[in-house]
Amino acid sequence: MKISELATLLDATIVTKNSASDTEISCGYACDLLSWVLAHGQKGMAWTTVQTHVNVVAVAVLMEMACVILAEGNHLEPASLAKAEEEGLAVLETEMTAYDICGRMAAAGVAPSAR
Amino acid sequence: MQEYTLADAYEVSARDYATAGDASAAIKRKLKQLGVDSAVLRRIAVSSYEAELNMIIHSLGGTLSMTMTPSEIRLLSADIGPGIPDIEQALQEGFSTAGEEARNLGFGAGMGLPNMKRNADEFNIQSEVGKGTQIRMLFHL
Ligand SMILES: Nc1ncnc2c1ncn2[C@@H]1O[C@H](COP(=O)(O)OP(=O)(O)O)[C@@H](O)[C@H]1O
Ligand SMILES: [Mg+2]
């Protein structure tokens, strides 16, 4: 599934300008504790969180993730948005909860993260 | 004696969450340019990030350095204190003394040292209260 298709699936807005929306997603994951995210992080991952600060972008970029999905109507902080755009990381924002996001992604056949 | 192909050091400032991860990102970028295998690179990225963040969250500041030879990569995290009173306890999954500020950002899961230990081929930690902490990690290429 491509990032653009994921955005449609999750009623999400891609808030980063110029991020590649045709990048393929390799797997999905949801967590707000960054050490857990690092332990599971995979290239091409779509990561769901409610954290909005700049360290989210740092972790996603370090793990070469495809995108970050901000759940429950959370918005990326301005500094985080600037860094995400600079790094070419796609960030999606949706009103859905992490539970619903994962449910839809799983039903659509997105794989879980391999540890 | 082996000749070093690369040696690099980055200053890490206490409580500087705005630039947290920059040292690890720089190390990773360099190693990637040098063609280091992506699986090894991932393990190095996790380990260096955890070590860097520990210095930001828990220490008074320090240095993250990396040396690379044709056969291995070494990471050294060295800070100026406060040190760890009980290393065995600190190594346990879930143990954390991280404060409110760090926890609110999603740090303080108590998984940093276990993540380093799991990802490095060799892991060594030394700490002296009032002096500082040194973590040495080795990755075979
Ligand atoms: N560089 C350091 N200086 C002082 N204490 C540290 C350092 N690194 C780790 N610690 C101690 O070890 C504990 C466990 O570290 P870690 O596993 O990374 O978990 P966390 O950072 O989430 O607390 C920390 O909470 C802290 O008490
Ligand atoms: Mg830690």
Cα nearest neighbour of A64 on chain B: B42
Confidence (pLDDT) at A20: 87
Cα nearest neighbour of A62 on chain B: B25
B53 contacts B101 by C-beta, under 8 angstroms: no
Confidence (pLDDT) at B55: 98
Nearest ligand (C-alpha, residue B77): 1
HEC assignment per residue over B7-19: EEEEEECCCCHHH
> Which chain A residues are closer than 8 Å to B21 by Cβ?
55, 58-59, 62
Cα–Cα distance for residue pair A37/A64, rounded to 1 Å: 12
Q: What average pLDDT score do residues B117-134 get?
A: 98
**Residue A106 in tokens:** 């799983």
How sure is the predictor about A18, in pLDDT bands with cuts at 50, 70 and 90? confident
Cis peptide before A112 (omega within 30 of 0): no
Mean pLDDT of chain B: 96
Phi and psi of A114, rounded to 5°?
-85, 140
Confidence (pLDDT) at A64: 97
Q: Record the pTM.
A: 0.97
Among B43, B53, B64, B104, which would you mutate to test the A interface (most chain A Cβ atoms within 10 Å of its Cβ)? B53
Domain coordinates of chain B in residue numbers? 6-140
Of B122, B128, B127, nearest in space to B136 by CA: B122
Q: What average pLDDT score do residues B89-113 get?
A: 97
| CATH of range A3-107; options 3.40.1390.20, 1.10.287.3510, 3.40.309.10, 1.10.760.10 | 3.40.1390.20
Confidence (pLDDT) at B5: 79
CA A49-A50-A53 angle, to 5 degrees, is 100
Write the pLDDT tens digit of every residue in A58-94.
999 999 999 999 999 999 999 999 999 999 999 999 9
Is the pLDDT score of B1 beyond 80? no
Where helices occur in A10-52 by DSSP H, the ranges are 34-40
Write the pLDDT tens digit of every residue in B54-66.
999 999 999 999 9
Q: Does A59 touch chain B (CB under 8 A)?
A: yes
Relative to beta strand A13-14, strand B122-128 is unpaired
Q: How far is the CA of A4 from the centre of ligand 1 (A)?
A: 39
Q: What average pLDDT score do residues B61-86 get?
A: 97
Higher pLDDT, B44 or B1: B44
Q: What average pLDDT score do residues B14-18 get?
A: 96
**How far, in Å, are A18, A93, B91 from residue A75 at the CA level?**
18, 7, 35
Q: Does A68 touch chain B (CB under 8 A)?
A: no
| CATH of range B6-140; options 3.40.50.300, 3.40.109.10, 3.30.565.10, 2.40.240.20 | 3.30.565.10
> Which chain B residues are closer than 8 Å to A41 by Cβ?
42, 46
Confidence (pLDDT) at B2: 60
**Residue B68 in tokens:** 């690379």
> Which chain B residues are closer than 8 Å to A52 by Cβ?
none
Confidence (pLDDT) at A19: 84
- A52 to chain B, minimum CA–CA distance in Å? 9
Q: How far is the CA of B112 from the centre of ligand 1 (A)?
A: 7
Domain coordinates of chain A in residue numbers? 3-107
